[in-house]
Amino acid sequence: MTLSRRGFLAVGAALTLTSCGSEAKPAQAGELLRSKAPLPEPFKVPLPIPPVKKPVRTDAAADYYRVVQRKARLEILPGLKTEVMGYDGLLPGPTFDLRSGRTTVIEQVNELDSSTVVHLHGGHTPATSDGWPLDLLMPPGESHAGHHAMPGGDVKTGSRTYTYPNTQRAAMLWYHDHTMDYTAPQVYRGLFGVHIIRDDEEDRLPLPAGDREIPLVIADRAFDDNGAFLYPVAKDGIGVEPQYMEGVIGDVTLVNGAPWPVHEVDAVRYRLRILNASNARRYELAVDRGPAKFVQIGSDGGLLDAPVEHKTLVIAPAERFDVIVDFSPYQPGDEVTLVNKLDNNANVLRFKVARKAVDESSIPAKLSSYAVLPKPAGVVRRKWRFSRGDAGEHKGWTINGKPFDPAVMQAQVKLDQDEIWSFVTDVHHPVHVHLAPFQVLSRGGGKPGGYDAGWKDTVDVRPAEVVDVLVRFTAHKGKYLIHCHNLEHEDMAMMAGFETI
């Protein structure tokens, strides 16, 4: 295909500039897509826990895995079947549970009928395994002349091996599809999963563990009357229908792949590792009753130096929050529901407190000892402006006025050098940088926000706001990406390449 979609983006969808940067509440960006299937009753389906992936072999150098990307028909809504595109046919895919510094080699096999790209989000990964959007893995049989064939990528057919050195501190990363122009629909259909890295520093902490440590992968979807996923693909098959260019918001909330599930807990502390895997939806999570709050212990890039308490948790697409919730003030029989305050307290997940139990966990006042970076003087500064493009032909989303062009590197960035990057927005954009985490220095000219602590790789930049971050890339030279993680914005070209040198 050609990049003609860039021309197609000349559409008239009205963008509502909801407010200016002084607004305290984050707004929802996106367009609601309603299910045609009857919505299931909430809290009937138990919370699934994605299985932990086992290596096929292991040696002194690495652990080796094999994942098959395939279609599967899953019962997501009770009584209906949904065709998913899943890693090992699962939604979410299997969880990788790994040690820092130990290399993971994953053979990805494509048995789908479209090309894919795997990206490890938050990974300190060599460029050849980072999932450049044109480094396609094509299913066997699809010819290079197919609609995905584009110049400039390292294209493989059938299977491809990704190597992750995991040379980074303990954190919950995630992996997901990153195919140019098709990320949003392919993630929507199931190509995402969790990648947990552990290390000795974290293992020494008396945090809740075992079945009291739970990944919660939240993603909204809409369903057709036969159970199929609804997604508003544009008429020409590329990108999203114009009226959804702000983002696709579904009316069913899945947690670990189940609609509004329920989970039985003991009246003790739990460690909830929350990922917003939604294409566009933001959440402000709150508990509907009682004293429970969120004690944040970690963010995208691992543990904070000290815990931070939140009454509610605002989480944009691709962000992770590692929190402790204490159920000990509740009585057996109590029900505690996680709701989304940004959406009229819509349901997300219910906990049923089953019994009193012994709790040996605690939350240390000091969690980790990473350096909080001082704001250096005289560093390289770069500005990344995220906006709707209306210059020239392109009317989609742009960075610094340019739609994504895989042939263009918007910056050459020296390794081992501190840089201050400013993210500037028109409307709400969750901004993500590959290869290195960053620390938020300021938001709107003032202090970092309440959810900006620690090492981040995705930061929610509100309408007409500027967020400054300090970033330093290390070890790997090559082509990497900065982009908006609203996946409809990303597919509609709000992405830029940069090169580390």
- The answer to the question of residue 484 lying near Cu ion (CB under 5 A) is yes
Among ligand C2O, Cu ion, none, partner that 483 touches (CB below 5 to 8 angstroms by kind): ligand C2O
Give yes or no for residue 28 binding Cu ion (CB under 5 A).
no
Distances (CA, A) of 89 to 68, 222, 258: 7, 19, 15
Q: Which amino acid is at 111?
A: E
Nearer to ligand C2O, 176 or 263 (CB): 176
Contact 393, 401 (CB under 8 A): no
Closer residue to ligand C2O in complex, CB, 172/481 = 481
- DSSP H helix total and E strand total for the chain: 4, 35
Residue closer to ligand C2O (CB basis): 258 or 481: 481
For residue 381, give both structure tokens: 């500064």
The interface partner of residue 176, options being Cu ion, ligand C2O, none and the CB cut-off 5 to 8 Å by kind, is ligand C2O
Burial-class residue 382 by CB neighbours within 10 Å (0-12, 13-18, 19+).
middle
> Pick from 486, 491, 495, 498: which binds Cu ion (CB under 5 A)?
486
Residue 429 binding: pick among ligand C2O, Cu ion, none (C-beta 5-8 Å cut-off by kind): Cu ion
Q: Which is nearer to ligand C2O, 121 or 472 (CB)?
A: 121
DSSP labels, 188-232: HTT-EEEEEEE-HHHHTS----GGGEEEEEEEEE-B-TTSPBP--
In terms of CB distance, is 37 or 248 closer to ligand C2O?
248
**Smallest separation, CB 444 to ligand C2O (Å):** 25
Q: Is the peptide bond before 92 cis (omega within 30 degrees of 0)?
A: yes
Handedness of CA 398, 467, 198, 84 (dihedral sign): negative
Nearer to ligand C2O, 246 or 300 (CB): 300
Q: 318 contacts which partner out of Cu ion, ligand C2O, none, CB within 5 to 8 A by kind?
A: ligand C2O
178 binding partner (options Cu ion, ligand C2O, none; Cβ < 5 to 8 Å by kind): ligand C2O
* 148 scored as a contact of Cu ion (CB under 5 A): no
Three-state DSSP class for 242? Answer: helix
CB 490 within 8 A of CB 54: no
φ and ψ at residue 145, rounded to 5 degrees: -80, 0
C-beta atoms surrounding 159 within 10 Å: 16
Question: Which of ligand C2O, Cu ion, none is residue 388 near (CB under 5 to 8 Å by kind)?
Answer: none
Pairing of strands 409-413, 495-500: parallel
User: CB-wise, 193 or 307, nearer to ligand C2O?
Assistant: 193
Amino acid at residue number 447: K
Decide if residue 429 touches Cu ion (CB under 5 A). Answer: yes
Interface with Cu ion, residue 434, by CB under 5 A: yes
Q: With CB under 5 A as the contact rule, which of the stretches 101-109, 290-298, 374-382, 487-495 interacts with Cu ion? A: 487-495
CB of 431 to ligand C2O, least distance (A): 11
Tell me the site size for Cu ion, rule CB under 5 A.
6
CB 477 within 8 Å of CB 127? yes
Would the CA dihedral through 399, 401, 404, 407 be positive or negative? negative
Give the residue at shortest CB distance from ligand C2O: 121
Structure tokens at 129: 């395994």
Q: Which residues bind ligand C2O (CB under 6 A)?
A: 119, 121, 176, 178, 318, 432, 434, 481, 483, 485
Question: Interface mask (CB under 5 A) for Cu ion, residues 92-131, using x and -?
Answer: -----------------------------x----------
Residue 200, phi then psi, degrees to nearest 5: -65, -40
State the residues that interact with Cu ion by CB under 5 A: 121, 429, 434, 484, 486, 489
